[in-house]
Amino acid sequence: MKPILPLLGSAAILTACGAVNENTDETAGDEAEDSSVYEVAVIPSQSIGEMEEGLSLLEEHLEGALNREVEVTHYPSYNAVVEAINYGHVDLAYFGPVTYLIAYEQSGAEAILTQIVDGDPYYYSYILTQPDAPWDSLDELVEDAESVDFAFGSQSSTSGFAVPGYELYERGVYENESTYDFADVRFTGSHDITASAVANGDVDAGAIDSAIYNALVDDELIDEEDYKIIWESEQLYQYPWAVPGGTDEELKAEVQEAFLEIEDERILRIFGGAEAFTEASHEEYDSVLEAARAFDLLEPEETEENNDTDDSE
């Protein structure tokens, strides 16, 4: 497994994104497949120590299944993974739904796999408040918006911002980070910080990833009795694994089969506590597109570096 790459500067990201549309649709898949080493990029979803063993085992498993050398690299940010897959520097990438959609829009990256967690390949966005708060539904909270301090996670998070933000946008109380009806809106940067802010009363309500919320409760890092869930989104598909546009169909099938065979819990647990991998397609992420476009999240210059499973998009 390769060590973590140095953080890419924003200038490099913007320069790369500016040139993507000229050539990546035609060359990304071919360039990646010409390499003798199968390159896999993943974003940080847990601490480095927790991921190292699982990623090394994943590398070994894929080498045996694909009968070729495999390198799994732990990238420092979502933007770095998007750039890598756009330019065909990697053959497979694991990232959040919104950042996958950026790669899809820019270079035709294609989702082929995701995870099953708690029996399903999807999760939700929650809006939480304190158990003694006067609101038992989002309708009630919206009516009192002018007295509510609200928290999102990262600005490029699917469940921590895009989806709940779009819900609030449609309800007429949130337009952007400087225009809203709330008393205050802040971005905490991660789901666990949002959870703490709600529990401590630093904010009145906040948006969080359901899988991360449940994991924090299960790990006894937060107390479920400190929260009340007043809104749940529609189903959101788990983080995708995507290949560059133009990847050979036979190779895609081989990679899917290799992942479907994985049963080692040391590999599975580092991907959101997964129980297994399952096939996915782009259509399963269409529901996020409208929200992402409403907030210009698919524009490269607006997409911040993000650790959204640490947070977890």
Which tens digit of pLDDT belongs to each residue from 257-278? 999 999 999 999 888 789 999 9
User: What is the pLDDT, as a whole number, of residue 122?
Assistant: 92
User: Beta strand 149-152 with 205-209: parallel, antiparallel or unpaired?
Assistant: parallel
Q: Are residues 96 and 228 in the same domain?
A: no
Closest to 190 in 3D by CA, of 167, 147, 159: 159
User: What is the pLDDT, as a whole number, of residue 10?
Assistant: 32
Segment holding 242, helix H or strand E: strand 241-243
Q: Where is the domain boundary, 197, 214, 233?
A: 233
- State the Cα–Cα distance between residues 10 and 80, nearest whole angstrom: 10
Domain region containing 220: 125-233
pLDDT above 90: percentage of residues in the chain = 65
Instruction: Burial-class residue 2 by CB neighbours within 10 Å (0-12, 13-18, 19+).
Output: middle
Instruction: Please indicate, yes or no, if residue 61 is contained in any of the structural domains.
Output: yes
- State the Cα–Cα distance between residues 227 and 166, nearest whole angstrom: 22
Q: Are residues 151 and 216 in the same domain?
A: yes
pLDDT above 70 (res 302): no
Q: Are residues 115 and 130 in the same domain?
A: no
Q: Are residues 146 and 200 in the same domain?
A: yes
Q: Are residues 76 and 206 in the same domain?
A: no
DSSP 8-state class, residue 295: T
User: What is the pLDDT, as a whole number, of residue 218?
Assistant: 86
Closest to 298 in 3D by CA, of 152, 124, 158: 158
What does the buried/exposed string (b/e) look like for 252-280 if buried means 16 or more CB atoms within 10 Å of the residue's CB?
beebbebbeebeeeebbebbbbbbebbbb
State the pLDDT confidence band at 47, using cuts at 50, 70 and 90.
Answer: low
Q: What is the CATH number of the domain that holds 167?
A: 3.40.190.10
Q: Domains in the chain: how many in total? A: 2
User: What is the pLDDT, as a whole number, of residue 39?
Assistant: 97
Asked if 193 and 125 touch (Cβ cutoff 8 Å), the reply is: no
Q: Are residues 202 and 287 in the same domain?
A: no
Q: Are residues 223 and 80 in the same domain?
A: no
Asked if 187 and 178 touch (Cβ cutoff 8 Å), the reply is: no
Instruction: Burial-class residue 153 by CB neighbours within 10 Å (0-12, 13-18, 19+).
Output: buried
Asked if 53 and 203 touch (Cβ cutoff 8 Å), the reply is: no
Instruction: Please indicate, yes or no, if residue 309 is contained in any of the structural domains.
Output: no
User: What is the pLDDT, as a whole number, of residue 77?
Assistant: 78
Instruction: Please indicate, yes or no, if residue 5 is contained in any of the structural domains.
Output: no
Edge-to-edge, what's the strand order for the sheet holding 184-187? Answer: 184-187, 149-152, 205-209, 125-129, 228-232
pLDDT above 50 (res 110): yes
Q: Are residues 197 and 247 in the same domain?
A: no
Instruction: Please indicate, yes or no, if residue 136 is contained in any of the structural domains.
Output: yes
Average pLDDT in the 98-107 region?
A: 93
pLDDT above 60 (res 16): no
Instruction: Please indicate, yes or no, if residue 221 is contained in any of the structural domains.
Output: yes
Looking at 6-10, 55-59, 105-109, which range is the least confident one? 6-10
Q: Is 232 helix (H, G, I), strand (E, B) or coil?
A: strand
What are the structure tokens assigned to 131, written together?
A: 């158990």
Q: Are residues 269 and 222 in the same domain?
A: no
Q: How far is CA 281 from the centre of its chain?
A: 16
Q: Where is the domain boundary, 233, 249, 271?
A: 233
Q: Where is the domain boundary, 208, 233, 258?
A: 233
Global pTM value:
0.75
User: What is the pLDDT, as a whole number, of residue 269?
Assistant: 87
Q: Are residues 106 and 150 in the same domain?
A: no
Q: Are residues 154 and 291 in the same domain?
A: no
Alpha helices by DSSP H, listed for 188-280, are 191-199, 210-218, 249-260, 265-268
The residue whose two tokens read 């979803």 is 45
User: What is the pLDDT, as a whole number, of residue 48?
Assistant: 57
Instruction: Please indicate, yes or no, if residue 3 is contained in any of the structural domains.
Output: no
User: What is the pLDDT, as a whole number, of residue 5?
Assistant: 41
pLDDT above 60 (res 99): yes
pLDDT above 60 (res 9): no
pLDDT above 60 (res 151): yes
Instruction: Please indicate, yes or no, if residue 246 is contained in any of the structural domains.
Output: yes
Q: Are residues 92 and 151 in the same domain?
A: no
Q: How far is CA 67 from the centre of its chain?
A: 29
